[in-house]
Amino acid sequence: MNKSSQIMKMTYYYRIYEHLYEVATMSIQDIAENTGLSRITVSKYMKDMYS
């Protein structure tokens, strides 16, 4: 994985984290809508974050 894709991935992680920090019970659908990411991407990144 090159450096620019690592930076983008960390940016996406942080965007998801910000929404979970505000409302811990926010649904994946709501996070996806608020961040502009797909539901599959949000789900995949959340699994990575919690494992």
Residues 26-45: tens digit of each pLDDT: 999 999 999 999 999 999 99
Query: Total structural domains in the chain?
Result: 1
CATH number for the domain harbouring residue 10: 1.10.10
pLDDT at 3: 87
Helices 28-35 & 3-22, crossing angle to 10 degrees? 120
Mean pLDDT of 5-12: 93
For residue 49, what are its two tokens?
């974050």
Report percent pLDDT > 90 for the chain. Answer: 84
1: pLDDT strictly greater than 80: no
Q: Of 3-7, 12-16, 25-29, 30-34, where does mean pLDDT reach its minimum?
A: 3-7
Can you tell me the distance from the alpha carbon of 34 to that of 51, in angstroms, rounded to the nearest whole number? Answer: 23
CA distances from 40 to 2, 3, 46 (A): 22, 23, 10
State the chain's mean pLDDT as an integer.
Answer: 93
Structural domain for 27, as ranges: 3-50
